[in-house]
Amino acid sequence: MAGALLCALPAHGQAGDGTMPVIAIDDLRSQTLRTPAEFWVAPGRVDISELPLAEFRPLTDRHANRGITGADHWVRVRLSNAEGDSDQSWVLRHETSYLDRLTVYYADNGEPLSRIVLSDRVPFGERPLDYRTLAFPHTTPAGGHTDLYLRLGFDKADSLTLNLNLARSDLFHDASRRENLIYGAFYGIMSAFLLIAVVFSLILRQSVYFHYALFLGASMLMWALLNGFAYQYLWPGSVYWHNEGFHIVYLAMAIAALQFSRRFLKTGRYFPRVNRTIRVMQWVFAGGIALRFAGVYVPVLALSFAALTALVLLSVLGLMAYRRGMGYARWYSAAWLFYGVGLGFSVLSAGSSLFSWGMSPLDYAQAGGVVEAACLLVALSERLMGWDQARRQALLIANQDALTALGNRRALDQAFDNLEEQAQGGGDPVFLAFIDLDHFKAINDRHGHDAGDEVLKHLARILRNACRPEDVCIRYGGEEFAVLARAPNLTQALEITDRIRMAFRSQPTRFQGAAIEHTLTAGIAVAMSADGRLDRSEAIRRADAALYEGKRQGRDRCVASAPETLSDPA
């Protein structure tokens, strides 16, 4: 791995005149290599013996970001342990996981230079350190120094930073463990969101949860590549996929994000032009993936960066949807504001030399990814609750009489089913009362159908006031009503029904200055008790028979059904 190189390079002196710049490491902790360390950009492939040392410049924060470049960059520095009483072990690591080559020339105390080439073009297991980015360990002897010449570069142009961290060996390993805990928390939280999305997609059979799961999976894979964990743990032997997979995964994540957005915001229905634009973008990104597999590089790199940057516009789309009445879209908009802006700044930082942030925006973008996933899950939950509320409202309308706002026959059928389940646990008997307005046709003929409707609504109000919340009041049809309620016995059931009859008789309906007097007749049958229960049709038949017996006796009365044997509850 290392070979001796005899090079006539200047020794220690003042930085800027070609002599070696010095950083003391006798009290080393952890730091980023900066001035007095120096750097130089090579116009082509230059051997170490050909370095123009006088052209090296101080490495400052302003010079750290190099943008997209294929040029080799050299960094040089002497690490001095002259004041140290013991050997100093340290680790030098690069910031990113996708640097193709980090060639390290090193020598202790003026000895001939040795060389080691760190590369992600070899299987992960061949690295000197089991670490997610390229890292070089070494020990500088007590009272001595180590000269370093570092060459950083890519086989094909990519975004380069000169951020190299130098840390004492034990502190490096401590920091590595802390990093693993933090990243482990990130992937744990994201995996939990992914599992929730998969479970909901299977239970609810809604494609929007499936597309949310696809987006989360693609996002996690993107971060695993950028963090270096994909190469370290997922495919340590796949040199091709580690080097060629970045832009493919960027584009796949963008496609998944757009597909989820189309489903979640129903763009096909509410924003047809935007929907067509998104579909075109998805096809373009898919074409970029195909080109990358075909070996095209620079255009796909630019397209993948543009795709990530464009995702911030999804926040605007969410705001548009919110203004169209989708309340849950506010969470979607906030989610993409966090994530999209973080990705946008990361791309700007990586793709240009205008900023001195290095790859730090990626950390904020990754943290924003957790916030985004949580906001999207909240948005999905709110959307689901809205869907459930709409479904309940639709069921309420389907089970409700339009005129009186009481239940209808469907509500009576459902109430029978519910009470049948409850009756198995015991409790008071359940009674069915059938109510019919006396001479209702005469009211319509004399006062008009609008007056008749007012009479029906007046009776509905009396029923609601007289009955408890757990009782079921319905308009069965025409001028017929029904009440399904529990009572301790038949006598009390009759008393409740009779109070309704008396209230209706004593409270005429006021309509256009006229007081419309009216009466009703009711028939009552026991539907369920400890002795057994009737099926729905039989209970209705008995209550209806009692009702007509009341009409035969002269109306304006409540009549109980003749006692008959109930069916066996078993």
Residue type, 289: I
Q: Residue 113 sits in a domain of what CATH number?
A: 2.60.40.2380
Same structural domain for residues 247 and 321?
Answer: yes
Same structural domain for residues 262 and 379?
Answer: yes
Same structural domain for residues 554 and 533?
Answer: yes
Provide the H-helix boundaries in 228-265: 229, 239-265
CA 429 to chain centre: 49
Same structural domain for residues 351 and 488?
Answer: no
Residue 251 lies inside a defined structural domain of this protein: yes
Same structural domain for residues 382 and 457?
Answer: no
Burial class of residue 198, CB neighbours in 10 A (0-12, 13-18, 19+):
middle
Long-range pairs of 55-59 with CB within 8 A, sequence gap ≥ 24? 56/16, 56/18, 58/15, 58/16, 58/21, 59/33, 59/34, 59/35, 59/162
The span from the CA of 456 to the CA of 264, in Å, is: 44
Residue 197 lies inside a defined structural domain of this protein: no
Residues annotated as catalytic are 479
307 touches 251 (CB < 8 A): yes
**Pick from 363, 396, 429: which residue ends a domain?**
396
Rounded to two decimals, what is the model's pTM?
A: 0.71
pLDDT, residue 252, reads 96
Same structural domain for residues 212 and 359?
Answer: yes
Residue 182 lies inside a defined structural domain of this protein: no
Neighbouring C-alpha atoms within 13 Å toward the C-beta of 502: 7
pLDDT, residue 13, reads 36
46 touches 5 (CB < 8 A): no
pLDDT, residue 566, reads 44
Q: Residue 535 sits in a domain of what CATH number?
A: 3.30.70.270
Secondary structure of residue 427 in the 3-state scheme:
coil
The span from the CA of 372 to the CA of 322, in Å, is: 17
Could you list the residue range(s) of the whole structural domain that residue 76 is in? 3-173
**Pick from 396, 428, 444: which residue ends a domain?**
396
> Shortest CA distance to 401 belongs to which of 294, 482, 310?
482
Same structural domain for residues 518 and 546?
Answer: yes
Same structural domain for residues 113 and 64?
Answer: yes
Same structural domain for residues 542 and 424?
Answer: yes
Residue 403 lies inside a defined structural domain of this protein: no
The CA-to-CA distance between both ends of the chain, in Å, stands at 85
> Shortest CA distance to 359 belongs to which of 6, 16, 32, 101?
32
pLDDT, residue 570, reads 33
Secondary structure of residue 372 in the 3-state scheme:
helix
- Please list the pLDDT of the chain residue by residue as tens digits (570 residues): 333 343 445 443 333 445 899 999 999 999 999 999 999 999 988 999 999 999 999 999 989 988 889 999 999 999 999 998 999 999 999 999 999 999 999 999 999 999 999 999 999 999 999 999 999 999 999 999 999 999 999 998 888 999 999 999 999 999 999 999 999 999 999 999 999 999 988 888 888 899 999 999 999 999 999 999 999 999 999 999 898 899 999 999 999 999 999 998 989 888 999 999 999 999 999 999 999 999 999 899 999 989 988 888 999 999 998 888 888 888 888 888 888 888 887 877 776 666 666 677 788 888 888 988 988 888 888 877 655 555 565 555 556 777 888 888 877 877 787 776 665 556 788 899 999 999 999 999 889 999 999 999 999 999 988 888 788 888 888 899 999 888 888 889 899 899 999 999 999 999 988 899 999 999 999 888 766 677 788 888 999 999 999 999 999 999 998 765 444 433
Residue 427 lies inside a defined structural domain of this protein: yes
Residue 194 lies inside a defined structural domain of this protein: no
Q: Tokens standing for 456?
A: 């029906």
Residue 239 lies inside a defined structural domain of this protein: yes
Tally of structural domains, the chain = 3
The span from the CA of 206 to the CA of 504, in Å, is: 50
Residue 72 DSSP code: -
**Pick from 396, 419, 445: which residue ends a domain?**
396
Same structural domain for residues 39 and 161?
Answer: yes
Same structural domain for residues 470 and 507?
Answer: yes
Residue 186 lies inside a defined structural domain of this protein: no
Same structural domain for residues 164 and 248?
Answer: no
> Shortest CA distance to 527 belongs to which of 375, 376, 423?
423
Find the helix or strand (DSSP H, E) in which 318 lies: helix 313-323
Residue 511 CB neighbour total at 10 angstroms: 18
